[in-house]
Structure 1
Amino acid sequence: MVFTCCAVTTGDVTKRITCTKCNKHNHLKYFKNKWVCPACTAKQPKSTKSDNTPVRAASSNSAQSAALHHENINMRRGGSASGCDDESVCAQSDPTLLENIKEYFNLEFARLRADLESSIVKRLSAEIQTVKDEISSIKSSMEFLHGKYEEVNKRLDRVDKEIKTFSAKTLEVGELRLSMDNMLKDNNSKEQWARRSNIEIVGVPQRKNEDLISVLRDIARVADFKLDPSVDVDFVTRVAPRNNDDKKIKPIVVRFLARWKKDEFLSHAKKLKLKCSDLGFSNNSNSIYLNDHLTSANKALLQSTKKLAKERGYSYVWVKNCTIMARRSDTSPVVHILQQSDLKKIV
């Protein structure tokens, strides 16, 4: 669209005036501050004449001309040139028209702005409420976790105290166990010392109204050992087996008055492979064994030593003077086993 008021060929086509004769367009903004009504235009001197012809006064003809002049101005948005139908339409060619338009657009912009602000506020309110809910949920979770954290801390404190108490008790128990082990070891040593002059005879069948002194004499006779029970022996008796099994033969315990006498008798008797038939038990070829009279703890230690020595390839395990000994071969050194910890020597 071409405008005669300026070189611009584009712009707001809704705010323009169009000449009814030449149909050319002009921007309304260039004329709204300079527009003069037809009556005032008629009063102005004409610059086309050089004489002093007075300007004609406004008359009804000039008023009509002015009216016609108003009719030749098109004030419709985007419309074509046409005549003005009434005074209300023609009156809008004055500055109040622009003010009305401006006010209208201001109101529209205000309404749009209010609607936009309302929409934005609602959207933001919803988003903010969502964030608030999430923050509230996070806060609740944090409070829950804080409570659990405090609970765990209390439990840890309690467990720490219990561990300290347990450690103290464990240390105390360890000390008591060590003390008890020492007491048991000492008691076992004393008990074994009290048995240093005793021998244990296993495998002799038990008879009703038996004479154990006679059995001891028979063993000394077979071993070709000079023994006078009335002088050399303190007592002879049968004792209950270790597990109180009535089906097993009760071993015989002999206490000598002199330890050297006991050692000599035991040395002679062990050289023999005594059988029950050697002592008058006919048709009974079961073996009879003579050993140092060991305590229950030392007997258990002897069994453990025999088992471990067999696993490690040791050839000999024996008891001498109530002391357990082991040897891998004839040329290897002798290992003395006095307590459970000494089993580590068997390698």
Structure 2
Amino acid sequence: MPIQEIRAFNRFYTNLIGALDYGRHLYTPYTLTESRVLYELAHSPRTDAADLRAELSLDAGYLSRLLAKFERDGLVDRGPSEADTRRQRITLTPRGREAAALLDERSREAVGTLIAEVPQERRARLVEAMRTVRETLGHTRPVPHEGPVLRDPGPGELGWVVQRHGALYAAEYGWNADFEGLVARIVADFAQDHDPHLERVWIAELDGRPVGSVMCVRDDAPATARLRLLLVEPEARGHGLGDLLVRSVVDFARDVGYREVVLWTNDVLAGARRLYQRAGFTLVAEKPHRSYGVDLVGQDWRLPLRQSQEGSAG
């Protein structure tokens, strides 16, 4: 009987993932609901309280109390929405991003442990079976692809950034291993020594897998941020990911007090240049050079942030 099979599946799966454990979630100080809120905030650069309430189907009073607790703990900042002052904008603080990153890491570890003994050739079947359950029980409507989200890198994903830059630029532009070496040095410098309050890496995720990256780091010039390592996989283009990545760097730089954002690129990267222009960057200098085995024209771009007051970035 279908009812018996579904109940049997529910018992099996809840026991498997430990859903009957009502203690702290993933060995962190947060409950499951608190973890879900942190996850949503981490995967949306700017979120209104009303959006959170609708997305998670939470009672307005309960969500308000939860956000007040997060604010007392230094995990979130609350203020009027830029789009509608009647709505409340919620953003994670650096401490909140660290908490969300820990939850994301623990969750990935838990799922990784769950499927570690599943043979590789059976994992695609497992994923398809899960999609079938969602489609069938979701009023027979096809399960839509998840929209793009931005998050902090998980374990091993800084290496993914290096690998994908090397492979993609070799395939699309014929650049040699010198470029991959440059990316590796940039990533290594960030991993070994960066200020999490003023510098950040984003991974773009689509349908549960990484498909892009970007980095915001301090420039040598005072109060200046540098945008680096922007990448979007070919199959993920057309979803607005490039604009989202660039905008996230600009918003982050403005929020933490930088006065301008700069970047260096090459003239052959026409798609990236259009992203920078749409974000308000202007070309300030060009210089021919030979790098990565090809002749290129390097370009410097700049975006003043026009801070209304002195920021904290140095």
TM-score normalised over the length of structure 2: 0.19
TM-score normalised over the length of structure 1: 0.18
Identify the structure with the greater strand proportion. Answer: 2
- Higher-RCO chain (CA-CA 8 Å, sequence separation at least 6): 2
